[in-house]
Amino acid sequence: MSNKEEHLAQELDTTALDAELVADYLRANPDFFDHFPNVLQRLSLKHQQDGSVSLIERQQRVLRDKVTALEDEITALMGQAQRNEQIFRGYSELYCQLFKCENLAEVEACLQATFREQLGLPELALKFFDSPVDLPEQFTFTADTHIQLLSRRFENDSVYLGRLTAEELKLLFREEQQIKSAALVLLGERGELGMLAVGSRDPLHFDPTMDFLLITQLQHLLSVLLPRLIANSRAD
């Protein structure tokens, strides 16, 4: 490096260091411009649209942007809170209706009314693995196709939330082309009874990271209720 280049590098380092010192000092002394208003009057900041603007104008613009961002965030949170309340109410009403059901058809109707009509989830399937009684076709898997789902999706838990392959969707839903994410819930004490599947058009609606407290509560209720209804239908 030549002497000239070395001198220039030293100047740049000094300039950067001085700027950092000034910035640190101003952060440590936020009332600096109260004591030196004449310095504040001479300051200007470049803006892409307005050219040179005063520091106060720039601060006002930054504060307005922050307020707007906060308002947008509050609006989004309020919308999510309303959605959560709608979901909670839907589940609460569903629990009450399920206790009144006397057969599997009524259970399916209650589930459809909640998930499809109230929560906007277009596809639902209630399937049983090995029922001791003959059930209508919509409640059963063909052959042992459910084993494919069990081996892929329920290795660590009795609830799966997320996306499915086209083959898996075809095993569960009648209009599988429109389903982009799904909730799969095993039923029974050990998941031996059957499966509840709910599908959404939104690929992000059911996500593995989401909380599924309400779904597990429904899982426990159905795991107690459904064996009784099946036993009653066998007695009939």
For the residues of 142-204, what is the DSSP string, one character each?
STTTHHHHHHHH-SS-SEEEE---HHHHHHH-TTGGG--EEEEEEESTTS-SEEEEEEESSTT
204 in a domain, yes or no?
A: yes
88 in a domain, yes or no?
A: yes
8 in a domain, yes or no?
A: no
Among residues 98, 131, 165, the one where a domain terminates is: 98
Domain total for the chain? Answer: 2
For residue 210, give the 3-state DSSP assignment.
coil
| d(C-alpha 134, C-alpha 201), whole Å | 32
59 in a domain, yes or no?
A: yes
Task: Give the max Cα distance, the chain.
Answer: 103
Q: Are residues 83 and 131 in the same domain?
A: no
Q: Are residues 76 and 190 in the same domain?
A: no
131 in a domain, yes or no?
A: yes
Q: Are residues 89 and 107 in the same domain?
A: no
Q: Are residues 66 and 147 in the same domain?
A: no
The helix-helix angle for 55-98 and 213-235 (nearest 10°) equals 10
Contact 217, 185 (CB under 8 A): no
- DSSP lists the bridge partners of residue 213 as none
Task: Look up residue 225 and give its two tokens.
Answer: 């209720």
| pLDDT less than 70: residues of the chain | 1-17, 40-56, 58, 132-133, 142-143, 145-151, 233-236
Q: Are residues 125 and 230 in the same domain?
A: yes
Q: Are residues 123 and 173 in the same domain?
A: yes
For residue 234, what is the DSSP state? H
Give the range of the structural domain holding residue 57, as residue numbers without chain letter.
46-98
| d(C-alpha 27, C-alpha 24), whole Å | 5
CA 135 from centroid of its chain's CA atoms: 35
Cβ neighbourhood burial of 172 (10 Å; 0-12, 13-18, 19+): buried
Among residues 98, 119, 137, the one where a domain terminates is: 98
Q: Are residues 151 and 78 in the same domain?
A: no
* pLDDT of 27: 86
Q: Are residues 79 and 177 in the same domain?
A: no
Q: Are residues 117 and 177 in the same domain?
A: yes
Q: Are residues 115 and 213 in the same domain?
A: yes
4 in a domain, yes or no?
A: no
* pLDDT of 8: 44
Q: Which of 195, 168, 197 is nearest to 182 (CA)?
A: 197
Q: Are residues 92 and 138 in the same domain?
A: no
Q: Which of 19, 16, 12 is nearest to 1 (CA)?
A: 12
120 in a domain, yes or no?
A: yes
Among residues 73, 98, 123, the one where a domain terminates is: 98
pTM score of the predicted model: 0.66
Q: Are residues 122 and 214 in the same domain?
A: yes
7 in a domain, yes or no?
A: no
